[in-house]
Structures are given as C-alpha cells and as structure tokens.
C-alpha cells in the first residue's frame, strides 16, 4: 500500500526536508527534536509516512532509526546509543555485574546486559531483547546519577558481584560513599529502600562516623525484631548494632 502523500504545499515542503535530512544523515537515530525548526505535527506526519515507506524504522514513541545497506543486510542501531537516548526520557542505570564494573569492584564484562529503572517498563526495541531489566525501582532513583544508583544497586545485591577480597570490597564501598557527599545523597532516598538496605546503609554510615542524629531516621524505620544477613558487610564493626545476623 502506497503511503498517502502530503496534501498541502507546506506539508510537502516539510516532508521533503525531513526525508532529505534523514537520507543524507546516514546510519543514525532520529527524534522529533532533531527537526526543531519545522512544524512538529508536519514532522510527525512525515516520519509516519517514511515508516510506512520503509525509509526509517520506528523504535519507540518519537524515536526512529535510518539504517544503511551492508553486505549482511540492513544495519542495526547502535545498542549503547539507543540506551542513552532512552535514558533521556526514563532514567536507566547499570545493574548487577555492570554496576560492579562501573564502580571498580570487578573488571568482568557481563555476557548479558543488565539495567535498572524507576519506569514500569522499557521498550524492548530500545534496550534490546536480551537485556535483563529491573523495573519499578523507587521513583527517588530518578534523582540519582549513574554512579550513585549503581552503588545503591550494588548494596541491594550485598556486594555479591565484587571480585575483590571481602575486606577490599568493604574498603572500596566506604571510599565511594565518602566521595562528593555520596552517602548523604543515598541517605535522602534511603527510606524508599528495602529494610535490609536501610540497615546496611546505617552500618556503613556508622563506619563513616556519621552522627546518631543523621542516622536516626534509618534506625527508626527498622523493625527492632528483624535481623538481616549483610553477607560480606556483616564484618563491619557496627553491623551488630544495625541488626545484622551473627
């Protein structure tokens, strides 16, 4: 079926400009914002026609890809670039082994990409069919930068992805928490975390010398009868004071 042609001279002009820019732009991603100097509605209509004509591929709402012919068929969008583009509208953070790698706990690269997000879902066309996605992280995660969120994810996993010795894992964690008021930033979102993570942050905060006043909200949020397995972090001097299992 042949896509409907633009009806008015103005629509035809916009459609021609959109197609010309895309075809001369090579292998790349396109968003509506890339045509900021043209009428948004006319651009959207032009892109829809180009999708139906097979000139571009729609990856998600407002995100399109124009490939190029190769000896193996049409080129595919760069996965890293697509994820960065997706993160502009919905925060995406490294998780699991990827988070440990970003933070310097391991040099291993995960065979399967793993990310976390506060969104309820991520379009598979954007993050990839094989990417493991942890959705519905607390909305407060949207306030965190990549390294802050990666460290919070690492703490959620109790440092299991670290290839360092246990004492070095603890030392590295404390070092990261000291940098640029990172502990204070994590403390701001801590009450949205599971109880085990709140207890761990409390024990780490005590190790950093934070005052009882600073740590009081964390302690008050915990059921005094609960006990938590902090695994490698159970060796912290104040772990028992934060309800760690012996």
Q: Are 235 and 167 in contact (CB under 8 A)?
A: yes
pLDDT, one tens digit per residue, over 34-64 is: 888 888 888 888 999 998 888 888 877 778 8
Q: Please state which of the ranges 20-29, 99-108, 147-156, 164-173 shows the lowest mean pLDDT.
A: 20-29
4, part of any domain: no
Question: Is 156 within the bounds of a domain?
Answer: no
- What is the per-residue pLDDT for 90? 60
Residue 128 lies in a domain: no
Torsion of CA 188, 192, 193, 195, to 10 degrees: 110
Structure confidence at residue 188 (pLDDT): 94
Residue 38: the pLDDT is 87
Nearest-angstrom CA–CA distance, 47 and 30: 10
The CATH number covering residue 37 comes to 1.10.10.10
Asked whether 43 and 32 are in contact (CB, 8 A), the reply is: yes
pLDDT at residue 91, rounded to an integer: 72
Angle between helix 182-189 and helix 195-207 axes, rounded to 10 deg: 150
Distance (Å, rounded) from C-alpha 171 to C-alpha 185? Answer: 19
| Domain count within the chain | 2
Q: Could you give the CA distance from residue 184 to residue 190 in angstroms, rounded to a whole number?
A: 10
Q: What is the dihedral of CA 90, 109, 59, 25, to 10 degrees?
A: 110
Q: Which residue did the predictor score with more confidence, 7 or 227? A: 227
Confidence class for position 84, pLDDT limits 50, 70, 90: low
114 in Cβ contact with 106 (< 8 Å): no
Pairing label, strands 57-60, 28-31: unpaired
244 within some domain: yes
Model pTM score: 0.66
The verdict on residue 115 lying in a domain is no
pLDDT computed for residue 33 by the predictor: 82
**Could you report the per-residue pLDDT of 158-184, keeping only the tens digit for each?**
999 999 999 999 999 999 999 999 999
Domain endpoint, select from 44, 74, 104: 74
The yes-or-no verdict on residue 113 having pLDDT over 60 is yes
Of 27, 59, 74, which residue sits at a domain end?
Answer: 74
Q: Which of 74, 90, 125 is the last residue of a domain?
A: 74
Q: Does some domain include residue 108?
A: no
Backbone angles phi, psi at 114, to 5 degrees: -140, 125
pLDDT in tens, 66-83: 877 665 556 655 555 555
Query: For residue 209, is it within any domain?
Result: yes
pLDDT-derived band at 123, boundaries 50, 70, 90: low
Domain of 50?
9-74
Is residue 137 assigned to a domain? no
CA atoms within 13 A on the CB side of 142: 11
CB 183 within 8 A of CB 177: yes
Q: Is the pLDDT at 208 greater than 70, yes or no?
A: yes
**Predicted local confidence at residue 125, as pLDDT:** 59
């Amino acid at each position: 079926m042949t896509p409907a042609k633009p009806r008015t001279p103005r629509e035809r002009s916009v459609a021609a400009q959109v197609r010309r820019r895309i075809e001369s732009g090579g292998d790349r991603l396109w968003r509506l914002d890339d045509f900021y100097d043209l009428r948004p509605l006319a651009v959207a209509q032009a892109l829809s026609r180009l999708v139906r004509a097979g000139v571009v591929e729609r990856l998600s709402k407002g995100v399109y890809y124009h490939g190029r012919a190769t000896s193996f068929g049409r080129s595919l969008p760069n996965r890293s670039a697509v994820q960065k583009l997706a993160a502009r509208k919905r925060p995406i953070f490294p998780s699991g082994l990827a988070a440990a790698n970003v933070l310097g706990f391991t040099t291993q690269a995960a065979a399967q990409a793993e990310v976390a997000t506060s969104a309820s879902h991520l379009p598979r066309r954007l993050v990839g069919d094989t990417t493991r996605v942890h959705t519905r992280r607390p909305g407060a995660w949207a306030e965190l930068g990549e390294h802050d969120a990666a460290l919070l994810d690492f703490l959620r996993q109790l440092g299991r992805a670290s290839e360092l010795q246990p004492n070095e894992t603890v030392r590295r964690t404390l070092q990261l928490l000291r940098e640029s008021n990172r502990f204070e930033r994590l403390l701001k979102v801590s009450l949205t975390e599971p109880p085990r993570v709140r207890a761990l942050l409390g024990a780490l905060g005590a190790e950093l010398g934070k005052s009882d006043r600073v740590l009081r909200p964390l302690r008050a949020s915990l059921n005094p009868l609960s006990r938590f397995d902090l695994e490698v972090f159970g060796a912290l001097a104040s772990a028992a004071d934060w309800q760690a299992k012996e």
